[in-house]
Each structure stands twice: as C-alpha cells, then as structure tokens.
Amino acid sequence: MNNNVDLKVEFLHGFSHKTRIQILECIKDKEKTVSEIVNEIDGNQSNISQHLACLKGCGIIVGRQEGKYVYYGLRNQQIRELLNMFDSVLNDIEDDVATCENHIS
C-alpha cells in the first residue's frame, strides 16, 4: 500500500509545477513541437525541455518523431480528462484555494 502512495506522489509531482501545467494546457488539444510550446507559453527552451523530460518520464506525455521534429502530446484521453477534472473541481473550490493559508511543501 505504501508503494501505491509513493507512486501517486510521483505521478502528481508531474502536475506540481506552473511550467508543467502550462505545457499540459498548451498540448491538451493538439500535439506541438518544443518551439511551438516555447512560443505559446513564452518560456525558455532549455527550461521547457527539462519539464518535457519530467512529464515524459512520469508517463503523462509522449513524444512522436516526425522528420527532424518531435511532437509532444498527452499520453491518452484519461490525462485530458484528468486536466479537465482539475478545472472542474477548481471551479468549485477556487476561493478556498486562493485564500488558503495552510499550504505546506
């Protein structure tokens, strides 16, 4: 059971950084190259590449080689549904989250 909790923590870690969430939102509906992602979220290519590696390593996204480009997209429909569920739940509790003074790292 503890192993299952550890795996959940590792999986959720993929969603626990602003840049990774921006990347996921950017590719939620369409595959994109690193350059497209960098331009869309106004990021730094090296930083974005590191976060893409994290997301890919956690199994949240996949990369598909086409010619000299790699296109990144969500691993499957379940990840898309999870992102949509985050939005739905957050819609209900956003005031509480915004005013929470008990966030711990």
105 part of a folded domain: no
48, 19 in Cβ contact below 8 A?
yes
pLDDT digits (tens, 9 = 90+) for 65-104: 999 999 999 999 999 999 999 999 999 998 888 888 887 7
Domain count, the chain: 1
Q: Identify the domain containing residue 57 by its residue range.
A: 2-95
Closest by CA position to 71, among listed 34, 97, 38: 34
19, 68, 72, 73 from 65: Cα distances, Å = 23, 7, 9, 11
**Highest mean predicted confidence (pLDDT) among 5-9, 12-16, 45-49:** 45-49
Asked whether residue 46 is assigned to any structural domain, the reply reads yes
* Mean pLDDT, range 43-56, rounded to an integer: 96
The pLDDT value given to residue 34: 96
Task: Please report whether residue 104 resides in a domain.
Answer: no
Q: What is the pTM of this model?
A: 0.89
Is 102 within the bounds of a domain? no
* CATH number of the domain encompassing residue 19: 1.10.10.10
Residue 101 placed within a domain: no
d(CA 72, CA 19): 15
